[in-house]
Amino acid sequence: MSIALLFPGQGSQAVGMGRALYERHPEIRPLFEEAESVIGLPLRQLMFEGPPEALQRTAITQPALYLHGFAVAQVRQIQAQAAAGHSLGEFTALAVAGVFSFSEGLYLVKVRAQAMQEACDKHPGTMAAIIGLEEATVAALCSEVTEGIVVPANYNSPGQIVISGETAAVDSVIEKAKAAGAKLVKKLAVNGAFHSPLMESARHKLAEAIQPLSFHPPRFPVYPNVTGCAESDPSRLKALLIEQLTAPVRWTQTLQHLWEDGIRTFYELGPGTVLNGLVRRTLSEAITASYDS
């Protein structure tokens, strides 16, 4: 049975995340302590008790998700043949695969989260989910907008695509998508245009943090968001991790390539079941399970 580990990104966080894990497994508590020391925030309190609005802040959400997913992987010790992560989750996948250490990944996540928040403050934007249209149709609608930046940002599953960009441009595509027959169009509760050109300043800052680090060959292939294909070369994994901030998350393609490469079982490690839902919508015969502790 070939297994892939999947790690979630922003949107999967919830108050109470990690509490059961922390209480049941004393051996992983040092990870929480280290994370609080590096991030400089009371992550345990924020994860276990909230408030929700604090946990939704990028600078808190990203390290919380990274910490939770990595800790679950240490407890479960699943013998996997591949790994992938959605957006922020790619950092967790790389750390679990041994490309860099937990501490190095935590530092990169801190830099990434802070840089993304700064980019959001400097270039406000938004994102919206479009359900019921083909990928090519959504891409064409985005290209029709000449006033402002808007691009496909997440190819989550067949017929479910997220767009990202300047607010007015996103609003324009929302109206076009409705006219084109989309089943549902919903603006997301975010304050930034993730995985779009508006994240260019964040990409530069993340690159400065990533370039000096030594990336190691993974214990099993990791499927980066940018290509959705199996990668084991450290230099490729490094370059694609930098590119990820301004490139779309090709999650549909990632799942399809995992299936083509023989993966039949998908374990989501971390809070929520968002990724398992996307697996079921993309690969009807796949076996799925979720572990948060």
Which among 12, 87, 196, 290 is annotated as catalytic? 87
Delimiting residues of CATH 3.30.70.250 domain(s) in the chain: 125-187
Amino acid at 247: A
List the Cα angle 137/261/79 in 5-degree steps.
120
Delimiting residues of CATH 3.40.366.10 domain(s) in the chain: 3-121+196-291
What is the pLDDT, as a whole number, of residue 5? 98
Which among 195, 257, 290, 293 is annotated as catalytic? 195
Q: Where are the beta strands (DSSP E) in the chain?
A: 3-7, 82-85, 126-131, 150-157, 160-165, 184-187, 265-269, 287-291
- Residue-wise pLDDT for 174-192, tens only, equals 999 999 999 999 999 787 8
Q: Check: CATH 3.10.310.10 for 3-121+196-291?
A: no
- Tell me whether residue 25 is one of the annotated catalytic residues: no
List the Cα angle 130/133/138 in 5-degree steps.
70
Yes or no: say if 113 and 63 are a contact pair by the CB < 8 Å rule.
yes
| pLDDT exceeds cutoff 90 at 244 | yes
* pLDDT-based confidence at residue 257 (cuts at 50, 70, 90): very high
What is the pLDDT, as a whole number, of residue 162? 98
Assigned architecture for domain 125-187: 2-Layer Sandwich (3.30)
What is the pLDDT, as a whole number, of residue 189? 79
- Tell me whether residue 87 is one of the annotated catalytic residues: yes
Average pLDDT over residues 54-73: 95
Q: How far apart are the first and last CA of the chain?
A: 22
The pTM (predicted TM-score) of the whole model is 0.97
